[in-house]
Amino acid sequence: MIKTHNLLNEYLDKNQHNSQSKKVIRGKINEYLILLYFQNKGIINLYPQAYLFFIPDNKFDLVLFTKTKRIIAFNFKTCLRDRYKQTIVEAQQLKKLDTRFEFYLLTNNTVEAQRLNKKIKQGKILGINQVIDCFLPQANIFLQTLLTNQFLPFSDINMIKNKK
């Protein structure tokens, strides 16, 4: 994934994209790569860009429903410096409903991921289970553990609101 990241940097620099458009493009590409990875691993019940009915006005980048934990939600961020604070609020709202629900923040920022995981372990950040740096080998371990869940479709119960 690091090689792809470097190729993307070259492309964006060569085509003179400004800083903001680089972030938007990189974020969307990372999001689709993660969705493709999950689908390739057999998770077909993916709910990207989902608004959960019982948490108004929060859009999760990805929601999965499992047999045991029920909801596993994800947000993807390429830049964490200030943007993770909104993610904390979303995670806390999800955990208020049921403490078994899980919330993960996926990123490609190693330094910030380590800093936030340290705060999570110290109890300074509540709601987020873990910040995963998708470029580190530990991400593979996380994803293999995630794949041990049994994922369910949720078409029978209207828990997902229509996209705005």
Please tell me whether the overall predicted TM-score, pTM, comes out greater than 0.75 for this model. Answer: yes
Q: Which two tokens stand for residue 15?
A: 């085509």
Among residues 76, 74, 60, which one has the least CA distance to residue 24? Answer: 76
Give helix then strand counts, H and E, for the chain: 5, 6
Q: What is the pLDDT along the chain (164 residues), one digit of tens a residue?
A: 556 556 666 765 666 666 666 677 777 888 888 888 888 888 888 999 888 877 877 888 999 999 887 899 999 887 776 667 888 888 988 888 888 899 999 988 888 899 999 999 999 999 999 999 888 888 889 988 999 999 988 754 455 565 55
SS3 label, residue 36: helix
Question: For the chain, what percentages of helix, strand and coil (3-state, to nearest 5) are there?
Answer: 45, 20, 35
| Residues recorded for the chain | 164
- Which pLDDT belongs to residue 114? 93
